[in-house]
Amino acid sequence: MKKTVIWIIVAAFILLIGYRVVQRVGQRRASGLIEEKRSVPVRVMEVTRASIREILSFTGDIKGKEQVNVYSEVPGRIRSYAVREGQWVKKDGLLATVDRGITGLEFEPAKIRSPIGGIVGRVFLDIGDVVAPQVPVALVVRMNKVEVTINVVERDIPKVKTGLQASIKVDAYPDMSFEGKVTMMSPVVDPISRTSRAEITVDNRKGFLKPGMFARVDLVVREEKNTVVVPADAVLGRIERYAFVVEQGKAVRKPVSLGIRENNRVQVIEGLDASDTLVVVGQRVVDDGEEVTIVVE
């Protein structure tokens, strides 16, 4: 009889302990001390192939492809101008006359002629001003083509070659883009700025571009077609780059090698294949092997 009572007491004690344990676990789960198995919501996209370009951006000033400062061969004073700023002058056309005005001597007015055909871009002196051989009288510009000079930093010099296409924009026409081509790349590097000079020639038969304008230049130095391209934000890491894809309902971390970056897109050389399901939202909070729920907008 005593043994039966003892066993009953022991069983009741065990049941009481089990009840307390279950109760305590429930309380801790309710308070968040025990984490439930979670599924992270993510947004995804299917990896595709596309074209991507490497673009280098520069700034420069526009000048006439052919422009010259015209000087007087004799000293004196400007007597008259044969043309005004903005007018066309032909090659060897008369620009101005100079009164040599040497006391006691009679001279015919000296004639200043343009060495090229073009537009008179600027007249530097007024009538009556003193002129000397080292003082320019006028600027003549041939405007059917203009030139933009850019300075290429040392690390980008191997990428910039003659023949590259360029896109030019100016503040005066913010909605227009002008096409040009690299026509000269200097073979030397400036030891002070560590840059090399390149010249871009732009067709300007419509006359929109004016010498002295400030230009923004984009050079397409490389283009890859039919390559894996993904949003740049989908790739994580600074030294070891990686991205997450979804496989069988779980996030899988994949190391990647990157190539060209264009704006907010980047080329993936290795690590991803077309048709992979790439995580594009939630990639910063998910862990490798963690279950995910795909959220559809």
Out of 2.40.30.170, 3.40.50.720, 1.20.1250.20, 3.40.190.10, select the CATH number for domain 56-62+144-224: 2.40.30.170
Q: What is the pLDDT of residue 17?
A: 46
Q: What is the pLDDT of residue 16?
A: 45
Please name the amino acid found at residue 144. N
State the sign of the Cα–Cα–Cα–Cα dihedral 16, 22, 25, 30. negative
Burial of 210 (0-12, 13-18, 19+ CB in 10 A): middle
Domain boundaries, the chain: 40-51+226-294, 56-62+144-224, 67-142
Distance (Å, whole) CA 41 – CA 214: 49
The structure tokens 């970056």 sit at 261
At 236, list the tokens.
């994580």
Q: What is the pLDDT of residue 280?
A: 95
Q: What is the pLDDT of residue 33?
A: 46
The structure tokens 């081509």 sit at 181
CA distances from 132 to 126, 138, 189, 191 (A): 14, 13, 36, 35
Which residues are CB-contacts of 218 (< 8 A; sequence separation ≥ 6)?
Answer: 55, 56, 57, 58, 166, 167
Q: Could you state, in chain order, the average pLDDT of each consecutive group of 10 residues for the chain (297 residues)?
A: 52 49 53 61 94 95 90 92 92 94 78 93 93 92 91 95 94 95 94 94 91 94 94 94 95 96 94 94 93 88
The structure tokens 């073979």 sit at 187
Distance (Å, whole) CA 280 – CA 250: 14
- Helix (DSSP H) and strand (DSSP E) numbers for the chain: 1, 19
Q: What is the pLDDT of residue 245?
A: 97
The helix (run of H) or strand (run of E) holding residue 169 is strand 165-170
Instruction: Kindly report the three-state secondary structure assignment for every residue of 48-73.
Output: EEEEEEEEEEEEEEEEEEEEEEEECC
Q: What is the pLDDT of residue 36?
A: 52
Q: What is the pLDDT of residue 108?
A: 87
CA distances from 36 to 31, 42, 249 (A): 11, 18, 18
Q: What is the pLDDT of residue 2?
A: 52
Question: CATH topology for 40-51+226-294?
Answer: 2.40.420
- Considering the segment(s) 67-142 as one domain, its CATH architecture is Beta Barrel (2.40)
